[in-house]
Amino acid sequence: MKNFLTKFFVLTFAVCAFFVGTISPAEAVIVKGYAPIVNGDIDGAKKEARKQAMREAVEAAVGVHVQSTTEVANFMVVKDEISLKSDGYVNINRVIKEEVRGEIFYVELDVEASAQRIREFAQDLKSQLDANVNDSNSRGGIMVAVTQKNLSGTYNYTPEFSDYINAKLKQVGLRAVTNDNVVNYLINNYSAPDVRIRARAIANQFREEENALLRGVLSEESVRKVNGVYEATVHASFELIGLDSSEVDVFSKFVKGVASTQSEAIFNAKETATREAIDSLAKQALETVQRETRGGYTNIKTTVIVSNVTNYQAQYPAIKAGLANAKCKVIRMTRPNPTTLSFFVSTDAYSVIGELVQALIDSIPGIQQGSGSAGDLGATKIQLMF
């Protein structure tokens, strides 16, 4: 872990400033990626190896000097997202090598990364993580208490992973805060038979506005050298526990990570395990209806997608101002591609979606209604375009 994190500190720029400085518009680099082949799934391993290579390309292109664990976490989220939607951010010029090496899939790519677009994405992420969370979400506030178990069997706490979890939860609109009291209890009592009950009791004792506890452990299971690289296996065991109810959502999975050094392999396995755990549990925590009637008013939650954003510096502020003028509260914001912005919003100022659409058209200069299909889980998406 320490060897892996050290490289963050010798790079050039600060994540807290979100990549400000003189960086070339694009940089061509050679990047490598590794992934374990699980259950014979070569195609899946190929995709994961390419994602790892893309993450390396982001780091190589923008060069980041990290000053705090929060900045490590935020940069991890930036790399997560860009590795999933690389078009416009990282382009593959040439596939130098793709091959199966026993149980490992290896890729080597010649890529070109746009530092300018990555900077803009990082700015989006900062705004997104700072956005307020809709109070109608039944699990809007979450205490986080995640520890780690090393190969020797002892438990410890690593701040950057806790911050990473908090950032991932905030990214989907959940308020998240680390609870040190529960963390300290778990470090010393994780194997106790009543650990869930006791952890929940401590969380209730020190809670403020939170109504759920995310407790978990990342256990280092094994590390071995395979075909010249290291493969680490980590077990992720997470529980999302309701503090006002007995409801519990569970995630448990063994995850592998591959890298050229042992510390990086362990880190990659933990990072992947954490990402998968939070993606799974956040979806469960956010299973709420899009449109609710409470206390005599209608609360509408919907996604507003704005396409043809060709002048980000001018159009983004106009969109934000328009949403505010239309009495929309932004729960979370993403950038699906370089010319599209997506806002998940909440408002109780309208009785039907049509009224909200018209208010947005009236509030955002140069905007018009676009076209599109129903969104995820049947939620209606408002399609707008410049």
Instruction: Give the residue among 198, 224, 227 at the shortest CA–CA distance from 213.
Output: 198
**In the structure, what pLDDT confidence band is assigned to residue 78 with cuts at 50, 70 and 90?**
confident
Q: Which residue has the tokens 């935020």?
A: 74
Res 17 pLDDT > 90: no
Domain-embedded: residue 40: yes
| Dist CA 153 CA 12 (whole Å) | 37
Count, in order, helices (H) and strands (E) of the chain.
Answer: 10, 17
Residues facing 33 on adjacent strands: 107
Q: Which residue has the tokens 């042992």?
A: 262
Beta strands 381-385 and 368-369 are: antiparallel
68's enclosing H/E stretch is none
Last residue of a domain, one of 285, 300, 321: 285
Count CB atoms within 10 A of the CB of residue 74: 23
Please indicate whether residue 132 or residue 58 has the higher confidence score (pLDDT).
Answer: 58
**In the structure, what pLDDT confidence band is assigned to residue 129 with cuts at 50, 70 and 90?**
low
Domain shared by 272 and 181, yes or no: yes
Q: What secondary structure letter does DSSP report for 177? A: E
pLDDT in tens, 102-117: 889 999 999 888 888 8
Domain-embedded: residue 345: yes
Last residue of a domain, one of 228, 263, 285: 285
Domain shared by 303 and 274, yes or no: no
Instruction: Give the residue among 366, 381, 244, 241 at the shortest CA–CA distance from 315.
Output: 366
- Mean pLDDT value of segment 166-184: 83
| Dist CA 50 CA 109 (whole Å) | 8
Q: Please, are residues 333 and 344 in contact by the beta-carbon 8 Å criterion? A: yes
pLDDT in tens, 230-264: 999 999 999 988 887 767 888 999 999 999 899 99
Domain-embedded: residue 378: yes
| Dist CA 119 CA 19 (whole Å) | 6
Domain shared by 182 and 224, yes or no: yes
Q: Please, are residues 199 and 145 in contact by the beta-carbon 8 Å criterion? A: yes
Last residue of a domain, one of 285, 319, 353: 285
Residues facing 238 on adjacent strands: 216, 251
Domain-embedded: residue 135: no
| Dist CA 267 CA 280 (whole Å) | 20
Domain-embedded: residue 94: yes
- Mean pLDDT value of segment 170-190: 85
| Dist CA 201 CA 193 (whole Å) | 14
Domain shared by 37 and 162, yes or no: no
Res 169 pLDDT > 70: yes
pLDDT in tens, 325-354: 998 888 878 888 888 888 888 887 876 677
Domain shared by 111 and 87, yes or no: yes
Question: What pLDDT is recorded for position 373?
Answer: 43
Residues facing 42 on adjacent strands: none
Domain that holds residue 22: 2-130
Question: What pLDDT is recorded for position 166?
Answer: 86
Q: Based on the structure, what is the number of domains in the chain?
A: 3
pLDDT in tens, 290-322: 332 333 445 677 888 999 999 888 899 999 999
Domain shared by 70 and 106, yes or no: yes
* CATH number, residue 207: 3.30.160
Domain-embedded: residue 136: no
Q: Which residue has the tokens 């809670």?
A: 207
* CATH number, residue 85: 3.10.129
Domain shared by 271 and 250, yes or no: yes
Domain shared by 239 and 362, yes or no: no
* CATH number, residue 307: 3.30.70
Question: What pLDDT is recorded for position 349?
Answer: 80
Mean pLDDT, the chain, integer: 78
Domain shared by 147 and 246, yes or no: yes
pTM of the predicted model as reported, rounded to 2 decimal places: 0.65
Beginning with the edge strand found earlier in the chain, give each strand of the sheet holding 90-101 in spatial order. Answer: 26-36, 104-114, 90-101
| Helix, strand, coil % in the chain, rounded to nearest 5 | 40, 35, 25
Domain shared by 149 and 119, yes or no: no
**In the structure, what pLDDT confidence band is assigned to residue 139 with cuts at 50, 70 and 90?**
very low
Dihedral angle, C-alpha 157, 160, 163, 165, nearest 10 °: -80
Domain shared by 22 and 53, yes or no: yes
Domain shared by 281 and 299, yes or no: no
What are the CB-based long-range contacts (under 8 Å, 24+) for 282-289? 282/168, 282/169, 282/172, 282/174, 284/240, 284/249, 285/137, 285/139, 285/142, 285/174, 285/212, 285/240, 285/249, 286/137, 286/139, 286/172, 286/173, 286/174, 288/136, 288/137, 288/138
